[in-house]
Chain A
Amino acid sequence: MTDSTAGMTPEEARRADEAHTGPMLAADGTPLKKSLARALRRQKLRALGLIAPLLVFVLITFVVPIGDMLLRSIKNDIVADTLPATVETLADWDADASELPGDDVWMAFYVDMWFAAERKEHTRLGSRLNYEQTGVSSLFRKTGRRVDRFDTDVYTDQLVDLDPSWEDPASWAAMLDGPAADALPLTAETWERWKEFNVEEGDAVLEEDVPDFLFTTLYYELNNGAEVDGMSDRLDAAKAAVGEFETVSLQEQFADADEDWLDPEVWKTIQLYSPRVTSGYFANSVDMQLTPEGIEPRPDNQQIYGILFKRTLFMSLVITGSCIMLAYPVAWLLSNLPMRTANLLMILVLLPFWTSLLVRTSAWKVMLQQQGVINDVLVWLGLVADDARLTMINNQFGTIVAMTHILLPFMILPMYSVMSTIPPSYLRAAKSLGATNWTAFWRVYFPQSVPGIGAGSILVFILAIGYYITPEIVGGNTGTFISNRIAYHISSSLNWGLAAALGTILLVVVLVLYWAYDKIVGIDNVKLG
């Protein structure tokens, strides 16, 4: 053998050496790591193929809608989309000065409002801003009806008197195609919006009368010293004449429509909610509000969500706790009975699932109300005076009782499935080693049943924290959950942004608790079946 090694060239020897010390090789000569990775990749692809249908389904029906919903909690396009020019001019307005905005804002707002009213978008904007300041909704509705009857036709008449060609839309088109567009930016932009609007409506812009607001913007810009000198005769004439024009105050026009426009608070609200992304919904859902000075707590009498969140958490914990107390002995009993009996009793545990949730909840109403079964029995027994019947419904107590009952099976099932895998021999072993019944249970049985408690608690807690129907029916004023408020915002007040923010916070709270649970107990200790 030494001979053959000696006969190698140094290069061959080095390679042979490398083959020994280098990476392990598979039978076909590829590195072992690589071929292992390839084999695993094929397995992973197959696994992916198997779950692909579910993945797509979940993506389309869950992740995407939920994601969209959550985005609504910060999205705020409506102000910037409906009042683009106003938002731009209002940016320079100093809200703290408690003065009304200047003429440029009124001008821009007039144009924006005209288009919004024509497109019937002003009411939606009104309801949106109404979440932040009550009364804005009717303000916009009223103004929308008035905005195309403003007295701005005086500008039209005066300009047409100067030169009748102002009546011809073609002349406007020609003018704003040239250098005048740079000199009259607002008019040019408004002309573009007017053209777009006509395209939307299916009208030809050259066959429509030039609207009053274009004359108004033209007047406004000429009056403010637009440099149109030498561009055309009629512009020169107009510029020379505007100083003498009879004028209308847009501010007064708006104030005529609704005098609330003279309230700087309205303008503050519009300014605060101009950005396309807002933290306003989140601020609202933690009892804060956006102000020009930053985020501030709401006045005490308007704080409701903090209380609701705390109550939801507290009651969910109480419900989870009472479910554990009630379910543990039952699960223990079930897992220690012979299979046949256990299955029979299991049907009883599952029986509530076969009746409608509404029926069960309503049954609790019958049981717990002041003229209900329990009160009647207590009065009959003389334990409670007839005029001092207990209030057990439409409050927290009612919600806790009804929800504990409804969620109990979700606690029993995982507990049972864990307990039935704990062989009785462990308890016997503990006793044979000298442990009393209690020690044997506490030191040996209980630790092994913790995964069941954990799984049941997570299930019940997460179900409880988002529960809606039962608190709605039996909760009254003091027993409702945050989810009832979310439902209210989704279906009644239509403040979806706020609902989304509340939902997001709820989701985050659950995730944080889940994380904490993982840190404390360990999620691998949870056995769901």
Chain B
Amino acid sequence: MADVTNGDAFVEFERVQKSYDGENLVVKDLNLSLPKGEFLTMLGPSGSGKTTCLMMLAGFETATHGEIKLDGKPINNIPPHKRGIGMVFQNYALFPHMTVAENLSFPLEVRRMSKSDREAKVKRALDMVQMGDFGGRRPAQLSGGQQQRIALARALVFEPELVLMDEPLGALDKQLREHMQFEITSIAHNLGITTVYVTHDQTEALTMSDRVAVFDDGRIQQLAPPDELYESPQNSFVAQFIGENNTLEGTIKEIKGDHCVVQLADGSLIDAKPVNVTQPGEKTLVSIRPERVEMNKERLSPDAHTLKAEVVEFIYMGDIFRTRLRVAGKDDFVIKTRNAPDQRRLQKGEQIEIGWLAEDCRALDA
């Protein structure tokens, strides 16, 4: 799904910019297109412009520049109520003075649907989120998770082709959140609707989405399926934002194809894969996942570079061991090892040697 051509794009942002105050761009040059049926997540730190993008798509904010297209047609001048986009708000925005059934039948009423049609659709939508018995209650009489389901049902009851969700699970506890993640994705896939989902939570983004757009500073830093995002981050922001990550500062010593040698501040050399560095002498930040660090020299190629490290801390975590090391003068280098029978438990103060496969270590922008 990643290789979409603009031709069959259902939602399209073209060079969209947004500024609230005329001084700062909150969204800078946003280009994004997603095909019908895709579940896309916008992930990024607070204030990175995710909600703003969603609001522009829903029509509650206007883009300062650029064009947003829905199903091939520009929608900049279409008012929100004619866009036919379902939306789930972070605080659910269930109308407190209406019952659950009235909330659900509201979008149908404004579409002048007949009473019997409305009742049938409301019932079906309630059954879909397993809330069939709650039609007569007020939103205030529901738990957070139940309100969430109703909000979802309300956004879907009028059968929109596009649904936007702004941190819909933010207020739920972990267990309920995981359950709802599953329900939302399965409903979205069963109905075949296109979904744009906003979250803070990277686990949520990775588990739910077809593709994830990582936002920072008003730009999409990387747009990729979850596995690619985790394993091949395109820049150091994405590398650090997604999952746990070790970084080392250095300078490129030499580049040969997709292999390069990086010299760290203390002079030691390491192997890496050049991602967005091009020539020797460039400053770089290399990134390596804690589970890809190797302590067993025999598993590395003979000419691989290794680093000396001192164990600072050893933490037993059940399925894995987490060991903190001092490497190249800094003591925040973490490695994770599986709790396997042959795995040795390192002692504090122990001196070891570590290395890695060049393709696991990515030399990114500094």
Contact = CB atoms under 8 A, between A and B. Distances in A.
Interface of A: 423, 425-426, 428-437, 439-440, 443-444, 447-448
A439 B107 CA distance: 11
Given A433-B106, A433-B110, A433-B154, A444 B95 contact: yes
A443 B97 CA distance: 10
B191 to A, nearest CB: 17
A435 B60 contact: no
Given A425-B91, A439-B110, A431 B96 contact: no
B208 interface: no
B110 A423 contact: no
B84 A434 contact: yes
B97 A431 contact: no
Given A425-B91, A432-B86, A435-B81, A448 B96 contact: yes
Contacts of B158: 433-434
- Complex A-B, nearest 7 residue pairs according to Cβ-Cβ distance, in ascending order: A433-B107, A429-B93, A432-B87, A425-B93, A431-B80, A447-B97, A435-B110
Interface string B59-92: 1100000000000000000011111111101110
Given A426-B93, A447-B97, A448-B96, A432 B85 contact: yes
Nearest to B157: A433
B213 interface: no
A435 B91 CA distance: 19
B262 interface: no
A428 B90 CA distance: 12
B87 A434 contact: no
Contacts of A434: 81-82, 84, 107, 110-111, 158
- Residue among A429, A432, A437 with most chain B CB within 10 A: A432
Contacts of B95: 426, 429-430, 444, 448
Interface string B93-120: 1011100000000110011000000000
B58 interface: yes
A433 B93 CA distance: 11
Nearest to B106: A433
Nearest to B94: A429
Contacts of A425: 89-91, 93
B198 to A, nearest CB: 14
Nearest to A422: B96
Given A428-B58, A432-B58, A434-B111, A423 B93 contact: yes
Given A429-B87, A432-B80, A443 B93 contact: no
A428 B84 contact: no
Interface in B122-176: 154-155, 158
Contacts of A435: 81, 106-107, 110
A425 B96 CA distance: 12
Contact of A430 (B85, B90, B106, B111): B106
A423 B58 CA distance: 17
A440 B79 CA distance: 13
A431 B79 CA distance: 9
Contacts of B110: 433-436, 439
Contacts of A443: 106
Contacts of A448: 95-97
Contacts of B96: 448
B80 A428 contact: yes
9 contacts: A425-B93, A428-B93, A429-B89, A430-B95, A432-B80, A432-B81, A433-B86, A434-B107, A437-B81
A30 B80 CA distance: 63
B79 to A, nearest CB: 8
A428 B94 CA distance: 11
Contacts of B86: 432-433
A443 B102 CA distance: 11
A431 to B, nearest CB: 4
Contacts of B85: 432
A388 to B, nearest CB: 49
Given A432-B81, A434-B107, A436-B110, 14 more contacts: A425-B89, A425-B93, A429-B87, A431-B80, A432-B58, A432-B85, A433-B81, A433-B87, A433-B106, A433-B154, A434-B158, A435-B81, A436-B81, A437-B81
A448 B138 CA distance: 14
Nearest to B60: A428
Contacts of B59: 431
A436 B110 CA distance: 8
B361 to A, nearest CB: 45
Interface in B39-63: 58-60
A439 B106 CA distance: 10
Contacts of B81: 431-437, 440
A448 B158 CA distance: 24
B102 to A, nearest CB: 10
A133 B81 CA distance: 73
A418 to B, nearest CB: 13
A104 to B, nearest CB: 75
Contacts of B107: 433-435
B144 to A, nearest CB: 16
Contacts of A447: 97
- Identify which of B79, B83, B106, B111 gathers the most chain A CB atoms within 10 Å of its CB: B106
A430 B86 CA distance: 10
Contacts of A430: 95, 106
In the complex, which of the residues A426, A439, A440, A448 has the most CB atoms of chain B within 10 Å of its own CB atom? A426
B150 to A, nearest CB: 12
Contacts of A436: 81, 110
A425 B81 CA distance: 14
B89 A428 contact: yes
A186 B83 CA distance: 100
A28 B83 CA distance: 66
Contacts of A431: 59-60, 79-81
Max chain A C-beta neighbours (<10 A), residue from B81, B87, B155: B81
Contacts of B84: 434
Contacts of B155: 432-433
